Structure 1
Amino acid sequence: MSSSLSITSAVPDPALLDLPWGLPLELWPDETIAALPKGISRHLVRFVHLEGFVVAIKETSAELARREYEMLRTLQRIDIPCVEPVAVVTGRVSPDGEELSPALVTRHLKFSLPYRALYSQALRPDTATRLVDALALLLARLHIIGFFWGDVSLSNTLFRRDAGAFAAYLVDAETGKLYDGGLSNGQRENDLEIARVNIAGELLDLQSGGRLDEAVDPVEIADGIVAAYRSLWRELTASETFPEAERWRIRERVERLNDLGFDIEELSIRRGDDGTSVRIQPKVVDAGHHSRRLLRLTGLDAGENQARRLLNDLDAYRATRKRADEDEEMVAHEWLVKVFEPVIRSIPKELRGKLEPAEVFHQLLDHRWYLSQEQNRNVPLAEALTSYVDTVLRHRRDEMTVVGPATSAITLPIAVVDDGEEDWRAKV
């Protein structure tokens, strides 16, 4: 190993020193490589085994690696969904003295998938729409904090299942920039146009390879991110005027924002000059309303939609036991110990890599509802759990670390379950 090798990391891992930094990334031995599906990148990216987890290593320039590392750290500190930066590696030299490209190391996001891995026979219309909706929400969250992405695309995003929807995570922050004063309308529109063009191109590429359902119109789906983003942005930022007698609309606006997963930092309320109207202007903070509430009550860290579903079950638990007037945190602890944890412990060890615990619980609740409808009775949770494990979970592909072909391949001939809400039980 060259004495000039430099590894910059907030939390240094000695195992990084054992990797073959003196070889170009494309020549690293197979025993170090983790066969995971990846998206298209302008740089060479490979997944590598480290002690206890997997990292993604991207060869790039020293300046870009350091800049992206710091940007990802900043986004993590303000709770934006993105990959975790691990280290910047510079000073790489081959045994014969050749200088090698610096590298950015990020931690692989468990249970995540690139968009190219999210198909069965072909990417279906509803799945394509859900991916774009998730990306629109991520883009709105980034714009709220003043982040200009500059390269919005499905390829630069990872997706995790989130209670029937998808949650999007930023992977590539190389072109991003954070503005303290927020973004102008022109900057936001620029990001939107980049997103629209990139997504259309990516879906057209899938279509040319026969991996896009015939019913999917790539341009229409790409245009959908613009519509989804504009609707969301309007709800998050637009002012609203209404008659003073309709003050209930203030609470209604707050609840709509909460339903979208956003909290309110402050709400500006002004009486009109005529004295009969009220104007409100919300100032929202970052998303995560439900996940923060679930974390506070139970200590469970889940996606926003998963948290919403678990909180609904918790609220139902309180209501059915007539505990609505008791301390919320005490009842939440009881639900955690008597309902959630026994379910997760009951999952066979060999099946625990299939899905995240919160996603398993969400799907179990769905499965129980379907069984109850089919059998016209209230199916006990334990009975539903046995059925779910045997008929659904056991037949799924592991998503903790989805094994795919060699990472140098661009296309991924794997068949990850593409399960829409309407027929997820039937697909294996």
Structure 2
Amino acid sequence: MTQELHITSARVDPDLLDLPWGTALAQWPANVLAALPRGLSRHVVRFVRLSGRVIAIKEISELVAHNEYELLRRLERLDVPSVTPTAVITGRVAADGEPLEAVLITEHLQYSLPYRSLFSHIMGADTATRLIDALAVLLVRLHLVGFYWGDVSLSNTLFRRDAETFAAYLVDAETGALYPALTDGQRNYDVDLARTNIIGELMDLESGGVLDEDTDVIGIGDSLVARYDELWQALTEEESFTRDERWRVNERIERVHGLGFDVDELAMSTEEGGQRVRIRPKVVEAGFHSRRLAQLTGLEVQEHQARRLLADLEHYCAFEENPSVSETHLAHEWLTEVFEPAIRAVPPSQRGKLQPAQLFHEVLDHRWFLSQQQSRDVPIIEAARSYGHSVLPSRPPEQSILGLTPEEAAAADDAAQLLDDDDTDLEGDLADLGPNP
């Protein structure tokens, strides 16, 4: 039977036609695969090199593929951190005439890693806490735009470094749905499910010897709930104050800015005969510091990276003696005289291991370390060269983590699948945890 492929795509790439669509994804030859770490998935997922980039291909039913594709496109338009959808392909047929499942294709998120790889490569004592913080921020952002996830977990999330923290990205939206606004019940269900899944995933790591047995996995799961509630309250709660306390409006806005969000619209009303004022943020958008940095320099970076780069920019501006020089002009000077030369000072062979903004952040940390060690103010270029020669060579390349051969990647996937199969043994343990109090 001749297959008649149907391709739905917002980004047309004729090279898609050259891939072996008549073969089940699990049997694709190693020469077309990209050796990247994959998280656990209930579906077959493969990474493939195509037209100078890497794409992720997931084999699922046609209805689910189209639904997830549309959801991811809508999240992309809403500027929510998620993988970018590329195409849905249906009409696949095997050589023996058997129909094959549809596939959803997304762009590989460069410099991102699944949580299992982060624990394998980083293994800091606070890695789990930082991942939970990132997931809480992502969940709040999704809920603010009315997205109900329905399957919140570390496995369905990718993580990128963001200065000393991580940024989380939604990678699996097949159980999700977008609404004008979520009810408290929908939000609480997502949060409680996240807690249960996270505890199970950390128990899995613990049983595999990746996580310390002394780690309080239930406490970490509970911290997701606490962090989410803290963020949600700070971003959405109503406040009431007297007319003499109008300064509290700016205080509230500054508090939201401190969390990395911006107030796009504020509802204000008077009560008690005009003696009291009630305020409530109506529209809150993430990325306050990243948008400000982009306006000044054109750099598009993560929120915590932007905060660190803005601090260095402010330090640079503080030494300008001419008060008539504009902030925009100084920002351009900082970009061309500090940021870009520092990145270029790192050897080209090491430069691509981290995002430029993350690399600059770590060079600043290294500069502080050298200055303390040598009791002098070490120039940024010298610090960048030192970091490139003494620290980066031992770091894995986080642009894609290409240190695995296709055979090694396949073996890692087989091991991960065994762990996934063992997850069913945790169901009884998780049921005993009960709902979050």
Regarding TM over 0.5, the answer is yes
Give deviations 1:289-344, integer Å, cap 9, x for gaps.
11111112211110011111111111111111235653222221111111111112
Amino acid at match of 2:114: P
Q: Partner residue of 1:317? A: 316
Q: Partner residue of 1:131? A: 131
Q: Partner residue of 1:329? A: 328
Offset of residue 3 of structure 1: 4.5
Q: Partner residue of 1:58? A: 58
SS of 1:86's partner is strand
Give deviations 1:99-152, integer Å, cap 9, x for gaps.
111100111100000000012488444110000010000000000000000000
Q: Partner residue of 1:300? A: 299
Q: Partner residue of 2:409? A: 406
Q: Relative to total residues, which structure has the larger helix share, 1 or 2?
A: 2
Unaligned runs of 5+ in 2: 418-437
Q: Partner residue of 1:231? A: 230
Asked if residue 38 in structure 1 is aligned to residue 43 in structure 2, the reply is: no
Report the Cα distance in structure 2 between the residues aligned to 1:122 and 1:326, rounded to whole angstroms: 43
Q: Is the 8 A contact 1:125 1:215 kept in 2?
A: no
Report the Cα distance in structure 2 between the residues aligned to 1:257 and 1:322, rounded to whole angstroms: 32
SS of 2:250's partner is helix
Greater shift after overlay, 271-280 or 128-137? Answer: 271-280
Report the Cα distance in structure 1 between the residues aligned to 2:91 and 2:314, rounded to whole angstroms: 55
Q: Partner residue of 1:420? A: none
Report the Cα distance in structure 2 between the residues aligned to 1:95 and 1:323, rounded to whole angstroms: 74
TM value normalised by structure 1: 0.92
**Residue correspondence of structure 1 range 1-400 to structure 2 within 5 A:** 2-120=2-120, 123-180=123-180, 182-273=181-272, 275-322=274-321, 325-400=324-399
Of structures 1 and 2, the one with the larger relative CO (CA 8 A, separation 6+) is 1
Unaligned runs of 5+ in 1: 413-428
Q: Is the 8 A contact 2:3 2:92 kept in 1?
A: no
Q: Is the 8 A contact 1:140 1:229 kept in 2?
A: yes
Give deviations 1:4-38, integer Å, cap 9, x for gaps.
11111111111111110010001100001111111
Report the Cα distance in structure 1 between the residues aligned to 2:122 and 2:210, rounded to whole angstroms: 4
SS of 1:241's partner is strand
Offset of residue 198 of structure 1: 0.5
Give deviations 1:224-272, integer Å, cap 9, x for gaps.
1100000000000011123433322221211111121111122223344
Amino acid at match of 1:258: H
- The change in CA–CA distance for 1:2 and 1:315 in structure 2 (over 3 A counts) is farther
**Residue correspondence of structure 1 range 405-424 to structure 2 within 5 A:** 405-407=408-410, 408-411=413-416
Offset of residue 352 of structure 1: 2.1
**Percent identity, aligned pairs only?**
57
Report the Cα distance in structure 2 between the residues aligned to 1:121 and 1:154, rounded to whole angstroms: 16
- The change in CA–CA distance for 1:318 and 1:45 in structure 2 (over 3 A counts) is same
- The change in CA–CA distance for 1:216 and 1:121 in structure 2 (over 3 A counts) is farther
TM value normalised by structure 2: 0.90
SS of 1:15's partner is helix
Report the Cα distance in structure 1 between the residues aligned to 2:87 and 2:377, rounded to whole angstroms: 52
Offset of residue 368 of structure 1: 1.1
Q: Tell me how large the CA RMSD over aligned residues is.
A: 1.8
Q: Is the 8 A contact 1:134 1:168 kept in 2?
A: yes
Give deviations 1:368-410, integer Å, cap 9, x for gaps.
1122223332211122112211221222110001134324334
Greater shift after overlay, 260-269 or 274-283? Answer: 274-283
Aligned residues: 411
Report the Cα distance in structure 2 between the residues aligned to 1:409 and 1:342, rounded to whole angstroms: 44
Amino acid at match of 1:409: D
